[in-house]
Every structure is written in C-alpha cells, then in structure tokens.
C-alpha cells in the first residue's frame, strides 16, 4: 500500500496571534520609515567598520553556570554552627546575587524588533490610578481656569492662552485605551516628522512602545451588542534590560532613534530595517553605569552626550572606536541635563546635590578623574533638582523637590566667551513658579520639556501636574494652559512637546498615553 500522506497540524491560536503581531509591528515600522524620510535626506552609506567596538556589540555576555540551589540542612544533619552550613549559606547568597545581576544585565546583541514585540492588547491593565496616595495632590482640581484666560488683559498673552487651551484630547480613543507600554512610562519622545504625530514611550522595565496618532477608530454599530471598538495599533519592543530614560532623534538620519537606559547602554533603532543595535556600553559587561538622560546637538549628529546616576556626564562619538570621554561633575546622581539647542557647547546639569550647573564644553581641563569642562555658574535650591532644560531662546527651566519650577534668563549666552564667569547674581532665577513636584515612588519624576523649535517663535514648555493635568508655561513664567480631558484617571507625569507642532503627549504610571492636538 502507498504510504499515507502526512497532514500538517493546524496552527494554534497562540502561534497565529504571534505571527499577526509580528506582521503588525513590521507594517507600523515600515509606515513610520516612509514618513520619516520626509524629515531629512537619507544619510550617506558608511563603510563597514572592523573596530573593536563593532566586535564588542556582537559578543555574547558570559554568564556563569547556575550554582547549587537550596537543600534542607536539618535532613543533611548539619548543626547551626557547622562550617559546612556557613559555607552553604555563603554559596546561596552568591547565587542570589548572580541572579539579581543577570536580571539587570544588558543585551549587547542586535535585536530584530519583529522577534521581541509585545502584544499591546495584553499588557497588564490593573493599575489605572493611584488615588489618595499622592502627598498634597488634589485630583481634578484646576489651578489654572477659563476665568484666568478671560481675565487676561494683555492681548498677545490672551491670544496665546486661548490657542494653547484649545488643544483637545485625542478623540478616537480614551487615554485608558491607549496603553503604549506594559509598565510605568518613564520617557517620551515625538518623532520630528510633521506629517503625523508618532509618539515613542519607554517604561521602567526596558520596553519601548510606538503609537501612531493619526489612527482613527472604526465605526461601531450601536445596534449590534456583539461589536466592540477596535483597539489602537500599538507596537512595543523589549529593547533594554532596565528603565528607558530618554529618546533622541537624529538630525541627519530620520530613521534613527537613540535610547538610553539604566542598563548602562545606548541603543540605536533603525526604523526602516527594524533593528535595534547597541552603540555604547561600558567595556566591562558587568559594570553598572545607569544612564539617566541622553542628548545630541543638531550640529553634531554623530556625538552623543549622556548623564549617569553616578554623577557623571559622558561624550561619545559613534563614528569611532574610542572610549567615551567621561567627566565626574557631581558626587551625587545627575537626574537630568540638556545641551543648548543653538549653543551646544553649553551644558546644564541638575543634581541630587541640590544644584543646577552650567558648563562650557569648549574648555575641558584637568587629568584623570579631575578632568572636566569649565564650570560657568551654579544655583543651589533648597532640595534636589530633577532636571535642567534649555530652550532655543536661551532660557533654562528646572524642576525641584522644593515644589518650584524655576526659569533662568540666559538669552545673552551667545556672547559668552570661553570660560565666561556668569556670576552668582546672574544665576538667580528670573521667575519662580510654585508647582507640586511631590511624585513619591509611584509616579515618574516631573520634568519640564521645551518645544525645541516652535513654529510661532514663542518659547514654551510643558510639565506634568499632580492633579492629573499637563501645565504649559511660557519663558516669562506665564501659564498658558492646563490641559485636561475626559478619562484621565492618573497623573500624566511624563509630558513632552513635539519639536515644532503644537502637539503634547503625557504618559502615566500604568503605561497609558494622553495626547492633545
């Protein structure tokens, strides 16, 4: 008899869903890459490098074999003071330490986004709000109202307030339906394309989510009880091993997205190829150097600057195989920093030591651990400073745990010579705004973020509000708007402006996204 033909086993629902997710992720990345090409010209092809840095990226991280696990001492007949028992406890402690280290270890390999996707509709949705646990928070109570807008006597300010207050919450899905990351949002970024809003978010466990703000919800038949509104298309990728802290978009390559993380690495994601590549990490794969922020000058698209929780700031040229130039600028952690958009030699840092400092990168002196840029000036707050953000107009905005947002007028900085001494008086803030910054452990730290290149030429920034709003301020300290909307059930603590458009995004503690336009 002829041999019976083998029939293929039917595809499981799980496998079918996995393939659908991979296809959806690839489709979204392809769409983003098409729109990204309109932002900047394609970069010139680069010759393949054979440097040690390139080799390091592909080297697998060596891990020790797991050691022996726990066993009963009583059954083994060991006394409490037995040397063998003591050594056994020491071994167990070493095993636990190795396990903890492995969980925090970064992945140096190239990652195919299609293989590391997370299904956006299966994220943990159990944390919708943190009502009652915020010190001093009063959810829903406005500190800036329509009456404030109506009573504005300055015609120009009133027009600007009306314009910014008119921004509306995204109409197609409620914030609780736009779950952009599995865990708490820690960083946000708008792709610079003006064709449509494309929002990136990073969470506390290393996942990166991408949301296309041009999506529209399909119509639902109200008479059909079985039909439900479709979920928004969101792609999420586990690119880092720990918290994602910043997004930076290249000014020369519109397909390049850079991310920093507490896992001590910087990764470059190619939107067109769908590949995430580690481009910087300490030489020692076990070294812990958590990166707290990342920035890049428009005029130097191949040079990255980063800060660390160890009080350092580093400079790294991605075209070379040289080591990063790292300066210790504080004995405490640096939670945030930024480069002046138009004067990128000016760097401002915010530290746990309660200071905001301005440094001149044109003058770096000293040797070894004492090597650092010239300190031009510093201002000390009553409590720690969370972030220092430069505007294109030369204003600095900081947030501090002393419940203030401070604005410093450095608009004459283009005339500063190398090593210029700003002076203590000039380092005093020109505007101090009372602002509740007591986030506690469940809400991401509030940080001001400027609109980098506003189309209307008016310098303005956004910052999350503990009463579940996003505040908009001008460089003169005037509040322009307090953005809200139906369905916001948690603090949109991580707030960002689009670089040029009047689009605002806010991410909360349950991975949900608020979006105004």
Task: Kindly report the number of other CB atoms within 10 A of residue 284's CB atom.
Answer: 9
Q: CA 448 to CA 433: how far, in whole Å?
A: 12
Residues with Cβ within 8 Å of residue 303, at least 6 apart in sequence: 296, 297, 315, 316, 317, 318
Q: CA 482 to CA 350: how far, in whole Å?
A: 25
Residue 87 pLDDT greater than 50, yes or no: yes
Highest mean pLDDT out of 12-26, 120-134, 357-371: 357-371
Q: CA 67 to CA 38: how far, in whole Å?
A: 54
Sign of the Cα pseudo-torsion (275, 281, 284, 286, in order):
negative
For Cα atoms 240, 242, 244, give the angle at the middle one, nearest 5 degrees. 70
> Which one has a higher pLDDT value, 266 or 120?
266
- Contact predicate 292/126, CB 8 Å: no
3-class DSSP state of 499? coil
Structure confidence at residue 492 (pLDDT): 98
- Contact predicate 260/281, CB 8 Å: no
Structure confidence at residue 7 (pLDDT): 55
Residue 123 pLDDT greater than 90, yes or no: no
3-class DSSP state of 497? strand
Question: What is the rounded average pLDDT of the residues 391-395?
Answer: 97
Helix, strand, coil shares of the chain, percent, nearest 5, are: 15, 30, 55
Structure confidence at residue 139 (pLDDT): 87
**Residue 144 pLDDT grade (very low, low, confident, very high; cuts 50, 70, 90):** very high
Q: CA 150 to CA 414: how far, in whole Å?
A: 37
Strand partners, 198: 212
* Least confident among 19-28, 97-106, 125-134, 302-311: 125-134
């Amino acid at each position: 008899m002829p041999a019976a033909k083998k029939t293929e086993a039917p595809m499981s629902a799980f496998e079918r869903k996995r393939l659908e997710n991979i296809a959806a992720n690839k489709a979204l990345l392809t769409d983003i890459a098409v729109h990204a090409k309109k932002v900047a010209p394609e970069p010139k092809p680069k010759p393949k490098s054979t440097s040690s840095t390139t080799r390091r990226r592909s080297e697998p991280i060596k891990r020790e074999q797991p050691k022996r696990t726990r066993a009963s001492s009583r059954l083994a007949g060991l006394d409490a003071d037995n040397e063998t028992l003591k050594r056994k406890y020491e071994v167990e402690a070493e095993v636990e330490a190795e396990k903890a280290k492995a969980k925090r270890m970064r992945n140096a390999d190239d990652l195919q986004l299609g293989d590391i996707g997370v299904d956006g509709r299966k994220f943990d949705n159990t944390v919708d709000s943190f009502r009652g646990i915020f010190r001093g928070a009063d959810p829903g109570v406005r500190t800036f109202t329509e009456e404030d807008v109506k009573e504005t006597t300055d015609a120009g300010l009133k027009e600007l307030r009306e314009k910014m207050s008119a921004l509306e919450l995204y109409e197609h899905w409620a914030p609780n339906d736009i779950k952009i990351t599995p865990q708490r949002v820690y960083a946000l970024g708008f792709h610079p394309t003006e064709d449509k809003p494309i929002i990136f978010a990073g969470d506390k466990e290393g996942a990166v989510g991408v949301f296309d703000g041009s999506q529209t919800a399909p119509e639902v038949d109200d008479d059909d009880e079985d039909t439900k509104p479709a979920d928004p298309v969101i792609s999420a990728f586990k690119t880092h091993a720990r918290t994602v802290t910043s997004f930076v978009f290249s000014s020369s390559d519109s397909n390049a997205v850079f991310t920093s993380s507490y896992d001590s690495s910087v990764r470059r994601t190619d939107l067109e190829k769908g590949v995430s590549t580690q481009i910087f990490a300490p030489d020692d794969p076990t070294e812990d150097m958590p990166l707290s922020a990342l920035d890049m000058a428009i005029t130097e698209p191949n040079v990255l600057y980063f800060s660390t929780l160890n009080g350092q700031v580093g400079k790294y040229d991605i075209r070379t195989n040289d080591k990063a130039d790292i300066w210790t600028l504080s004995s405490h952690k640096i939670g945030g920093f930024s480069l002046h958009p138009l004067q990128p030699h000016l760097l401002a840092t915010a530290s746990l030591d309660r200071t905001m400092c301005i440094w001149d990168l044109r003058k770096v002196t000293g040797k070894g651990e004492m090597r650092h840029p010239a300190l031009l000036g510093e201002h000390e707050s009553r409590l720690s400073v969370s972030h220092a953000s430069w505007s294109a107009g030369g204003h600095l905005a900081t947030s501090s745990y002393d419940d203030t947002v401070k604005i410093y007028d450095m608009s004459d900085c283009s005339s500063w010579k190398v090593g210029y001494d700003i002076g203590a008086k000039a380092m005093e803030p020109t505007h101090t705004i009372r602002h509740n910054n007591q986030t506690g452990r469940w809400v991401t730290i509030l940080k001001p973020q400027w609109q980098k290149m506003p189309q209307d030429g008016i310098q303005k920034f956004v910052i999350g509000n503990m009463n579940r709003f996003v505040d908009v301020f001008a460089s003169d300290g005037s509040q322009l708007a307090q953005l809200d909307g139906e369905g916001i059930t948690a603090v949109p603590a991580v707030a960002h402006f689009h670089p040029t458009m009047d689009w605002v995004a806010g991410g909360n503690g349950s991975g949900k996204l608020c979006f105004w336009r």
